[in-house]
């Protein structure tokens, strides 16, 4: 048992190491090399997760690597591969959320998975994208209700409202779209008031106001 634990620790360290290298390569624009590194990382993470389905950290690492592969496939416009990885990521996170329903970080990850799937679907299946984005919205609303001090969750909630609003506009649902966009604006303005020197928030508010006038 001690030997297995030690080997598991070493493999976990390899996951972190390879993932870190992949992240650096991606930041440098070396996407092909980053993808190769992520695939190596995924193989290690998948073996660890299969070894112990109750090890939350190993399951979390597997979900993260599915997500990173999904991002890379999305950058390559490989929609089927991106969806496959994002959906696999969602499945793992659903398992983690079911095992620990009070873990707010896991809930936030779950919302992100729904958002990622919706993002991919938005160009080909608006109805399907709306289902995913509304799922992300519902989870994030629950998170904000539990802790309204988390600016990142407020920002995620605004992004979900804004994305849903834009999708509804493409379907011709102008009234519902405006309601979502105004909800996003209200959240962004609240965040800007709390952080008035944040230039990114200033820009986002200005852009959304222009979008609402169009």
Mean pLDDT within 49-60: 96
Nearest to 26 by CA among 16, 35, 17: 35
Query: Cβ contacts of residue 2 below 8 Å, gap of 6+?
Result: none
Q: How confident is the model at residue 4 (pLDDT cuts 50, 70, 90)?
A: low
Single pTM value for the model:
0.92
What number does CATH give the domain 1-100? 1.25.40.10
Token pair recorded at residue 60: 């979390």
- Domain chopping of the chain, boundaries: 1-100, 102-214
Contact 155, 144 (CB under 8 A): no
End-to-end CA distance of the chain: 64
Q: How confident is the model at residue 1 (pLDDT cuts 50, 70, 90)?
A: very low
Please name the fold of domain 102-214: 1.25.40
Q: CA 131, CA 210: separation in Å to the nearest integer?
A: 27
Number of Cβ atoms within 10 Å of the Cβ of 31: 14
CA dist 42 to 39, 139, 163, Å? 5, 27, 30
Q: Give the tens place of pLDDT for each residue, 91-127.
A: 999 999 999 999 999 999 999 999 999 999 999 999 9
Residue 5 has pLDDT above 90, yes or no: no
Contact 137, 164 (CB under 8 A): yes
Mean pLDDT within 53-80: 97
Same topology for domains 1-100 and 102-214, yes or no?
Answer: yes
Q: Give the tens place of pLDDT for each residue, 139-195.
A: 999 999 999 999 999 999 999 999 999 999 999 999 999 999 999 999 999 999 999
């Amino acid at each position: 048992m001690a030997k297995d634990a030690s080997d598991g620790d070493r493999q976990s360290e390899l996951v972190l190491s390879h993932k870190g290298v992949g992240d650096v390569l991606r930041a440098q624009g070396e996407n092909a090399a980053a993808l190769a590194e992520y695939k190596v990382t995924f193989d290690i993470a998948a073996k660890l997760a299969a070894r112990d389905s109750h090890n939350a950290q190993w399951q979390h690492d597997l979900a993260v690597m599915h997500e990173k592969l999904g991002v890379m496939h999305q950058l390559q416009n490989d929609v089927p591969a991106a969806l496959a990885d994002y959906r696999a990521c969602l499945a793992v996170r659903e398992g983690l959320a079911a095992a620990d329903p009070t873990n707010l970080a896991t809930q936030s990850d779950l919302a992100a998975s729904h958002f990622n799937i919706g993002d991919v679907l938005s160009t080909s299946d608006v109805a399907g994208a709306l289902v995913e984005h509304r799922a992300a919205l519902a989870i994030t609303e629950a998170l904000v209700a539990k802790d309204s001090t988390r600016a990142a969750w407020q920002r995620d909630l605004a992004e979900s409202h804004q994305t849903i609003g834009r999708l509804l506009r493409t379907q011709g649902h102008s009234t519902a779209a405006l309601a979502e966009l105004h909800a996003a604006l209200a959240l962004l303005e609240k965040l800007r008031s709390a952080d008035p020197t944040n230039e990114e928030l200033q820009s986002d508010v200005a852009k959304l106001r222009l979008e609402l006038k169009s």
